[in-house]
Structure 1
């Protein structure tokens, strides 16, 4: 039996209830002479909430189901085995005998015959609940409905190299979710007209906001090297615009950025240094993100552990993150058995923290497949019954209850919740209020406020948690990031995307995607390694020094899209008594360029020495891999230099003598010719002196400036010179 619709869901005097549904024959023989009838539970309205739960879980026909109401039946044709047939019943309210306010059990049963039992007997029954309320005396129950707009992370660890550092998306599924008919689009559209408190993951907002500009989506198998253009830009603009309008004037709770898994942190990550600090950063970023994108100031003092399950360590971590309100659930923070009524949600639990204990029955009423009309109808009627019963427990005492549904409801679940909330409010026994109102309700002195110990945490949820090794990996990547950004001129271009990526690595969303958590962390670390390695020293071949002192060039390459600074290049010699490689030098390289730095090197003896070049940060921390190269010193000795100098001196003196002799011979020859001729004497030769001329030319061509030792070479573009060629020779 399936009750697919019951209208009206909250009847009043004079109404006629229409019940539509189906009957499926799951037996082995045909059902004949069948009809469907209605039954009202025997004994009038149910007495408490436990009776509602018991009736919903009951199986076959029981005496408490009451007798079938005569004259209001729907005859059915024969139903062969395996066949489903519809039914429809119209029953006047006055025929149901509803006399007092309360919750009535309503059953729809099938009576017929089979091959095995050829007499009229009840073959099946489906039960639901009918609220009957005139509201004469009871105070309406205050109901706070949380409306979560949360999704899994869609952003890869890699960012585009543009100025905005646009994220690369793991897939484009979010484009479907925010498009017309998508889950997130319907959540916003349904919630827009409801009196709800929105619960938002800021990471989802930031992700959709990034989609309002052109964005890239990873290729098959998450290949971020082969991306395609995303298709959700227009849908993103429309969704954000609709969301801003929907939340205008409503209360908004911002979860910490990327919705971190508080239980995993409490149980596995708390002792790993830096984990709680990252959680605080996620809370701070949440406020800024929601305020900037949704244009509302959210409250960030609320923690919501998964399924409201808590123990003392989870509550402690929530407080360490800055929350003084924790959303729990009554199947975790249990009420005393002696309590005969539903207490207010708010109650202090110590250390300045207030628990908002969501009602478990109401919060889990709409789980499962709500596209099935029968399930949705039963869930809605049960919600109406439970909320009415809360008010009936003590009609003169107003209650304040909290409903915290599943974190990522489907569109059909959201629609079923909305219909039930609207019907209950129209029925008059509840009034919808915001979260702030619920926090201010006076705590019930008899309400449960003892937070369970670690051993009480549900094992099914504990199995989904991130391991301690995951938090160690995250912190290791954070340490590497801290050591990298100190050399950057535009640090926020790296700290922001990597910071949010590390926050996503601790998200609750990995509970539903456990196989993706470790690869995601690995992708973050691998991508960071590629950026760190983009600033490096080029390899060098063997260097030969042919003198006592020379300059050795070492080249730094920066393949990042921004300038690097705050680095120092040091050269160290394996034999400092033989070779002094020179003083350290500051390194500044523009993005996409290389820079050669020249070190003034002093050789004290012939032979080979190994030199290690390495970059260091301003704090003296080694950066990147060192480069090691060999230096051959072939400097000549002082004796050899003296011999060579003496030889050169002899050559110069011999040249001078030969020149003097040649000039004397020339004068003598001229005098002899003058004595033989009667012409006047022209006098001495006034032409330029050859030796003087040579000296002048030598003065013009010699003494060129060969550059100062230790001077940095010019920047080169990425296609400029790389490592020096093999067999590098450096002269004086």
Structure 2
């Protein structure tokens, strides 16, 4: 029996030696002349008795034609790699080295001559049995091009690309628990303004979100891929609130951010469809909601925490997060999680996060590193005390898909490396059950998301790993020897610190918030202003402004400018000149105009005199004005002396704060003097005297009329007795009649019983 075993071992050794026999002599290398790209490798995890298929391209980047080229597969002779760092080292190597092994015989493919600049495709099919895979682990596989250059005259290895094969045949290790975060985050798109149409349509900075929601778009791909993956959704509530706003008509700023000449948004239909698909995808799934608009916690910790009101805004963002997700998605998320940018933490970041209500902090292993005492990757959970737990994401796995995944070769290498790294984690300590967190970049592209989905699927189906929820990762038993030391502020990466919002940014935000507080108190419907402005201010602190300081500043300034415009719509009308008061007491009217679309109340109008000893103005008056109306208020004023006085009209809020600009005008007091009184008295005296004179004249005329009437009567009697003689020539038959009316006076006017006017 022993002899049989010995013979079998010898036979196996001969077979392995035969597999490793090179088909071509590797006498020299010019391995940077030709670029080898591996566009696909299937299956990702080879199985016993199967075949691997490798497809790709070769490109001659040199100046000479490569003659008699062929592509072959190489397996490193050292067997499986021994560490995670060995994988990274091999992946970074560019030129051929002897450690890349010999080319496998009978599994190469011959190509036509390869002129300079020409690219040719290739496909290799290799039985798994020919790869020489032994014990479980990660194996290095190389694909090389061998050919001849005229200047050299013999075959050379002119290009090579390495990848990795995870081999897990024996099994038996305790499966590692993996928690994959699946982020739905985007940059701010909504402005604080709305259109002047009847619907008050929101105005967007651009229509880029419509492209991301459309079929094939980034966010559409994230939802379609994520719904079939065992992942934990990490959502910025601002994104779903913005998409919800897109489900109704909306406007888009014109060229250069022109908010006066907007265009119709194009993403309404896709926004409705995306929200429907997202609701279905996250139903009964674990969802972590970040604070609203994903505030930059590191920037707040380093530059904003000492600006009064900033920490309160962060807490408000957390509270708003729950309400938004519950309203839009009809689920209750986990909101006690903080995720600093790239998982970089220090003591101040931890303090700020916990002050806003976060109990779990997502960090990364290149920030909260290990001391080197552990020979394996520890569990993600690290209790920090006080009920706070740091979830330390694995740096290598989290950054695996940050490159250009549109390139098929990059995607293939990234997936193979990622899956191989997860197997290496398990093989580091196969007897230990550990929990690993993977936190990728916040905004994966569509191609990056596709690569991530492929890798996650391969890992969860591998046998050496299982998926786990975020809640399970928090509750996992921590490794007692794992690092729990939070680095100091000086250890925070310089490159990240340069991208942070400055202290002046937070000062501007809080100054705008203070002005907003003073404005909404006068409004009858405060929410119509406080909600859009409040969310806009939270967006101005977003992590997504990193790398775009100019855009962040423009966004902040636009909020402040619009608030100034709105507050200016409630103002005191200019009186436009000097107001003259003829007398010691008079009424001063002042008009307040409200051009807003809602009533304002709670204001108080006060008038103050520049010379209090000259002009006494009445008490302040409350102001209530309906939207689109004006109201005039009258102040009783009394003057102590004549002269010009400056009067200031100013609105105040209930708490005594000034509202809007003051309006000043001049008041000229012109009281009645003693000289004027004498003139008036003289005039009255003349009127009295004229009346007495006319009365006397009327009385004399009346007496004269009585005498004449008596004489006429006597004459009539005389005529009756014997006046027919006609001696004096009067009263005869030919005498003229007396006028029937009154006789004219000296002026030629007829006398009347009442004078027509006073002389």
Alpha-carbon shift at residue 491 of structure 1 (Å): 1.3
Alpha-carbon shift at residue 390 of structure 1 (Å): 1.3
572-581 vs 645-654, which deviates more? 645-654
Q: Does 1:591 align with 2:620?
A: no
Secondary structure of the 1:226 match is: strand
1:561-589: CA deviation from partner (whole Å, max 9, x where unpaired): 11111111111112222221222211111
Instruction: Give the whole-Å Cα distance in 2 for the aligned partners of 1:325 and 1:177.
Output: 30
Match of 1:543 among 563, 579, 584: 579
Alpha-carbon shift at residue 77 of structure 1 (Å): 1.3
Alpha-carbon shift at residue 505 of structure 1 (Å): 1.1
Match of 2:525 among 474, 477, 490: 490
Alpha-carbon shift at residue 668 of structure 1 (Å): 9.0
Quote the residue 1:501 is aligned against: 536
Quote the residue 1:580 is aligned against: 616
Match of 1:474 among 500, 509, 521: 509
Alpha-carbon shift at residue 135 of structure 1 (Å): 5.9
589-598 vs 300-309, which deviates more? 589-598
Q: How many residues align?
A: 682
Alpha-carbon shift at residue 61 of structure 1 (Å): 2.2
What stretches of structure 1 of length at least 5 have no aligned partner?
A: 679-689, 692-732
1:72-124: CA deviation from partner (whole Å, max 9, x where unpaired): 11111111122111111111111112222211111111222112322223222
Match of 1:229 among 253, 260, 264: 264
Alpha-carbon shift at residue 157 of structure 1 (Å): 3.6
Please show how residues 70-219 of structure 1 align to structure 2 within 5 Å: 70-134=105-169, 136-161=171-196, 166-219=201-254
The 3 A distance-change label for structure 1 pair 584 and 428 is same
Alpha-carbon shift at residue 642 of structure 1 (Å): 6.4
Conserved in 2, the CA contact under 8 Å of 1:311 and 1:457? yes
Quote the residue 2:41 is aligned against: 6
Conserved in 1, the CA contact under 8 Å of 2:364 and 2:395? yes
Instruction: Give the whole-Å Cα distance in 2 for the aligned partners of 1:342 and 1:651.
Output: 117
Quote the residue 1:571 is aligned against: 607
Match of 1:284 among 308, 319, 325: 319
Conserved in 2, the CA contact under 8 Å of 1:161 and 1:561? no
Instruction: Give the whole-Å Cα distance in 1 for the aligned partners of 2:692 and 2:316.
Output: 85
Alpha-carbon shift at residue 659 of structure 1 (Å): 5.1
Q: Does 1:372 align with 2:407?
A: yes
Instruction: Give the whole-Å Cα distance in 2 for the aligned partners of 1:661 and 1:305.
Output: 110
Q: Does 1:644 align with 2:666?
A: no
Instruction: Give the whole-Å Cα distance in 2 for the aligned partners of 1:445 and 1:32.
Output: 60
1:628-657: CA deviation from partner (whole Å, max 9, x where unpaired): 111111111367436635743663575377
| TM-score of the pair, normalised by structure 1 | 0.89
Instruction: Give the whole-Å Cα distance in 1 for the aligned partners of 2:412 and 2:706.
Output: 136
Conserved in 2, the CA contact under 8 Å of 1:581 and 1:611? no
Larger Rg: 2
Q: Does 1:268 align with 2:335?
A: no
Q: Does 1:390 align with 2:425?
A: yes
Quote the residue 1:323 is aligned against: 358
Instruction: Give the whole-Å Cα distance in 2 for the aligned partners of 1:281 and 1:671.
Output: 109
The 3 A distance-change label for structure 1 pair 135 and 268 is farther
Conserved in 2, the CA contact under 8 Å of 1:165 and 1:493? no
The 3 A distance-change label for structure 1 pair 161 and 479 is farther
1:581-636: CA deviation from partner (whole Å, max 9, x where unpaired): 22221111111112211111112222221111111112222221111111111111
Quote the residue 2:376 is aligned against: 341
485-494 vs 113-122, which deviates more? 113-122
Quote the residue 1:561 is aligned against: 597
Alpha-carbon shift at residue 167 of structure 1 (Å): 2.9
Secondary structure of the 1:71 match is: coil
Instruction: Give the whole-Å Cα distance in 2 for the aligned partners of 1:479 and 1:33.
Output: 76
Alpha-carbon shift at residue 203 of structure 1 (Å): 1.0
Instruction: Give the whole-Å Cα distance in 1 for the aligned partners of 2:222 and 2:381.
Output: 27
Conserved in 1, the CA contact under 8 Å of 2:171 and 2:464? no
Q: CA RMSD in A?
A: 2.3
318-327 vs 113-122, which deviates more? 113-122
Conserved in 2, the CA contact under 8 Å of 1:150 and 1:204? yes
Instruction: Give the whole-Å Cα distance in 1 for the aligned partners of 2:688 and 2:523.
Output: 59
